[in-house]
């Protein structure tokens, strides 16, 4: 029988136990997109984590993924047929970049994670091969396991990893 991670479905009023959580890119996307389906939940879970003094762990890779996703979403919205808005990209002061900066500024207790050593990268490579994860998910999984903390993500792929010691917090 395959083991599964512990899944925590966060709802308003709920709490996440632990001293720290690892942030996946989709949390930042939800936080930085006011019209996004995940925005209110992302804001709510952030308030709950801040109130508890939980450290929020962010890697440069997760931030890079969020930048890419937000830029793609904005490009997709500008390219919609029948859209009467301007096809000009918004300025850095009004577009996704400004919203992402505001989201990052709202992250109290923010700490940064960067790979500590070559062994970490070897674990990422093994996770790609043994768990059939894409490289970025393997990185995030390995980071959360290295830190022994939950990963805050709506990526259902994490819910399928056969690791009973992994805790995945979702906020659909």
- pLDDT digits over 56-107, tens only? 999 999 999 999 999 998 888 777 666 555 555 555 566 899 999 999 999 9
Ordered by where they begin, the domains of the chain are 6-74+91-170 (3.40.50.1010)
Q: What is the pLDDT of residue 105?
A: 95
Q: What is the pLDDT of residues 17-48, one digit of tens each?
A: 889 999 999 999 999 999 889 999 999 999 99
Name residues whose C-beta falls within 8 Å of residue 63's C-beta, 6 or more positions apart in sequence.
25, 28, 104
Residue 59 CA, chain-centre distance (Å), reads: 10
Q: What is the pLDDT of residues 118-159, one digit of tens each?
A: 999 999 999 999 999 999 999 999 999 999 999 999 999 999
Sequence-ordered strand ranges (E) for the chain: 6-9, 20-23, 55-59, 110-113, 151-152, 167-170
Q: What is the pLDDT of residue 85?
A: 53
């Amino acid at each position: 029988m395959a083991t599964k991670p512990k899944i925590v479905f966060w709802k308003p009023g709920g709490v996440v136990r632990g001293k720290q959580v690892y942030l996946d890119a989709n949390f930042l996307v939800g936080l930085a997109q006011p019209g996004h389906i995940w925005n209110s939940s992302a804001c709510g879970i952030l308030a709950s984590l801040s109130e508890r003094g939980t450290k929020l762990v962010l890697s440069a890779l997760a931030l890079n993924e969020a930048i890419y996703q937000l830029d793609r979403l904005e490009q997709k919205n500008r390219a919609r047929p029948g859209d009467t808005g301007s096809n000009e990209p918004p300025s850095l002061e009004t577009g996704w970049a400004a919203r992402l900066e505001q989201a990052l500024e709202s992250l109290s207790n923010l700490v940064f994670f960067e790979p500590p050593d070559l062994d970490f990268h070897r674990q990422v490579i093994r996770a790609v091969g043994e768990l059939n994860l894409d490289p970025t998910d393997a990185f995030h999984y390995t980071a959360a396991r290295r830190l022994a903390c939950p990963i805050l993500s709506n990526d259902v792929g994490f819910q399928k990893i056969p690791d009973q010691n992994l805790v995945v917090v979702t906020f659909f």
